[in-house]
């Protein structure tokens, strides 16, 4: 049985799906129309594609983790840390990639790339905690 906490976080996560879909439509439109501001900037292309791909994959990971938290014996505070940490990490990584694309003439990622590292750290700690909780629940 899925817990109310999982339902809440999954509901919040699923609201983000149209945002990811819009990002995909935007990328498709830009690539099909061959807009110069996008096409002429390889860094912008790479970061935008990576952001869109990471958003979808990490959102799925976040949804799966919500169900897995219900299978652990983690204390409630730690369960909420994992639930929120996985969701925040899955938002910060693509957000950092998107915001670091900067202005069209920019050839290098900008300062927002720090969000990617922060999101990765939060995601890693959350996943390690969940993995440990699952292993201890199996023992």
Give me the chain's average pLDDT, please. 88
**Dmax of the chain from CA atoms?**
57
**What 8-state DSSP symbol labels residue 1?**
-
User: Quick one: pLDDT at residue 99?
Assistant: 86
Mean pLDDT, to the nearest integer, of 55-65? Answer: 94
pLDDT digits (tens, 9 = 90+) for 20-49: 888 888 877 777 776 666 667 777 778 888
* Overall pTM > 0.75: yes
Looking at the structure of the chain, the number of domains it has is 1
pLDDT at position 93 is: 94
- Write the pLDDT tens digit of every residue in 93-109: 999 988 887 666 666 77
- Dihedral (CA of 119, 68, 17, 58) sign: positive
Range of the domain at 115: 4-138
The pLDDT value given to residue 8 = 94
Report which of residues 93 and 112 the model is more confident about: 93
Question: What pLDDT does residue 102 have?
Answer: 67
C-alpha 29/C-alpha 87 separation (Å) is 28
Instruction: Calculate mean pLDDT across residues 101-124.
Output: 83
């Amino acid at each position: 049985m899925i817990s109310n906490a999982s339902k809440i976080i999954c509901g919040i996560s699923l609201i983000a799906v149209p945002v990811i879909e819009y990002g995909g439509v935007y990328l498709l439109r830009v690539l099909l129309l061959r807009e110069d501001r996008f096409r002429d900037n390889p860094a912008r292309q790479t970061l935008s594609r990576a952001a869109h791909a990471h958003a979808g994959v990490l959102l799925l990971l976040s949804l799966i983790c919500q169900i897995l938290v219900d299978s652990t014996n983690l204390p409630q505070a730690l369960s909420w840390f994992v639930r929120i940490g996985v969701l925040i990490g899955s938002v910060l990584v693509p957000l950092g990639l998107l915001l670091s694309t900067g202005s069209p003439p920019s050839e290098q990622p900008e300062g927002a790339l720090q969000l990617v590292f922060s999101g990765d750290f939060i995601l890693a700690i959350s996943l390690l905690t969940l993995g440990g909780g699952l292993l201890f629940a199996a023992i």
